[in-house]
Amino acid sequence: MASSSDKTPSLPVTKIMILGATGNVGSAILTAFQSHNTHNPHHPFHITVLTRTTSHAKTAAQLPPSSNLQVLAIDTYTNTPTLTTLLQQHNIEVLISTIATFSTNDQEHLISACVASGTVTRFFPSEFGLDTSDRGKVETYLPFAILKQENVDLLRRASLSTNGKLTWTAIITGAFFDWALTIPGLFAMHIPDMTAGVIDGGDIKYEATNMAQIGRAVVACLTSQSRFDETANQYVNINSFTTTQNEVIALIEKYTGRSMTRSPISAKELSESALATIERDGGIEACRAYQPTPEMPYVPGSTEGIMACLFGGGALGGMNQYSMRENGLWNDRLGLPREDIEETVKSAVERLGMLKA
């Protein structure tokens, strides 16, 4: 008798390459592919992790051994001919880029290599964050994210130049909820100190996605021909839940048994301060040329600008409220599970060693 695994439909693509597989997003995506392979051994994905030569040994040591996983190294992501050869040699069909936001200028070379390879049919650019599809809002409030839009523009042109063979999917996630919740300052709060900056009153709804849900969404786009076709050349908006700052603060207080000290913050003032910093340092052109370092991974002012758009209302609203649009959320179309914000916050508090007895 055939097992349930034997009855699983064949995959539309199987040869996957991931850049940034040991980062926060990349590792979640890799884990989701490995989970698929565990549950569908007769229809596995074959994963290639691409890393720079300088970090090859470290990357290889971090990844679990698997018969469907290999690690390749390259000196730089900007060598288009070498990238093209690698893609062709390993017959790569899908390239997933999770390189850092401020390294997205490297993606121009990746896209060119995908076009030249003739093998790649889907490119996932390094979006994974706020909705950057509105060019006017990005230029006005998040100028450092203009590279993301320019990469999608490149992908649109690449799709046309290949007569539609190369397609793209940009995954929009809102806040990286479970990851960022425990990092001081990223949500305008510091749980160990029980302090929180409350932006525009704290009742503005925003989209939040746990890391595992991001991985599940990417894999779901590739597990059937219908989903593969439906997500082609699309911004795909997902979440784990829609919440507010005040709801999150109340849950933290519930599970720690302690009160948080709140400080009011104006999103407008936060945004203006962030934009002034960016303009002082050279504006959009400087953002395009920015080279992140371990000591300074983000464009100065960018974290404040993201928080203003993440939690703010008024003119800043809309960049992280896509579940409120008609057909704005893809969760059901991708078969993603509903997640529980209360369990997520409780788990974060427990990881910090602050769960009340």
Domain with residue 114: its CATH number is 3.40.50.720
3 bridge partner residues: none
Question: Side by side, which strands form the sheet with 206-209?
Answer: 175-176, 206-209, 241-243
Which is more confident, 198 or 100?
198
State the chain's mean pLDDT as an integer. 91
Is position 257 within any domain? no
Domain membership flag for residue 65: yes
Task: Check if the beta carbon of residue 87 is closer than 8 Å to that of residue 120.
Answer: yes
Q: Is residue 287 one of the residues assigned to a domain?
A: no
Query: Cα separation of 284 and 152, whole Å?
Result: 17
- What is the structure's pLDDT at 103? 64
Residue 147: pLDDT band (50, 70, 90) is confident
Q: Which residue has the higher pLDDT, 116 or 292?
A: 116
Whether the CB-CB separation of 349 and 191 falls below 8 Å is answered with yes
Q: Picking from 206-210, 215-219, 254-258, 297-301, which range would have the lowest pLDDT averaged per residue?
A: 297-301
Output DSSP code: residue 127: -
Compute the residue count for the chain: 357
- State residue 14's pLDDT score: 97
**Least confident segment among 8-22, 51-65, 68-82, 200-214:** 51-65
Which token pair is 70? 């290999």
Cβ(308)–Cβ(141) under 8 Å?
Answer: yes
Distance (Å) of CA 229 to CA 126, 164, 235: 20, 11, 13
Which structural domain, as residue segments, surrounds residue 31? 15-173+210-238+327-336
DSSP H or E run through 71: strand 69-74
Contact predicate 260/249, CB 8 Å: yes
Name the range with the highest mean pLDDT among 174-178, 297-301, 303-307, 323-327.
174-178
DSSP-derived pairing of the beta strands 206-209 and 241-243: antiparallel
Q: Is residue 89 part of a domain?
A: yes
Residues 240, 176 contacting (CB under 8 angstroms): no
Is residue 105, in this structure, part of any structural domain at all? yes
**252 lies in some domain:** no
Residue 143's pLDDT is what?
86
For residue 337, pLDDT over 80 is answered with: yes
Alpha carbon separation from 350 to 27, 37, 183, 192, 345 (Å, rounded): 22, 30, 14, 11, 9
**Residue 66: what pLDDT?**
83
* Interval 96-115 mean pLDDT: 86
Evaluate whether residue 102 is within a structural domain. yes
Give the number of domains in the chain.
1
Phi, psi of 269 (to 5 degrees): -70, -40
Q: For residues 222 and 154, what is the distance between their CA atoms, to the nearest angstrom?
A: 22
Residue 172, classed as helix, strand or coil, is strand
Question: Where do we find the tokens 């704005």?
Answer: 328
Contacts of 20 (CB under 8 A, 6+ apart): 26, 97, 98, 99, 100, 126
Q: Give the predicted TM-score (pTM) of the model.
A: 0.93
115 contacts 162 by C-beta, under 8 angstroms = yes
* Residue 9 forms part of a structural domain: no
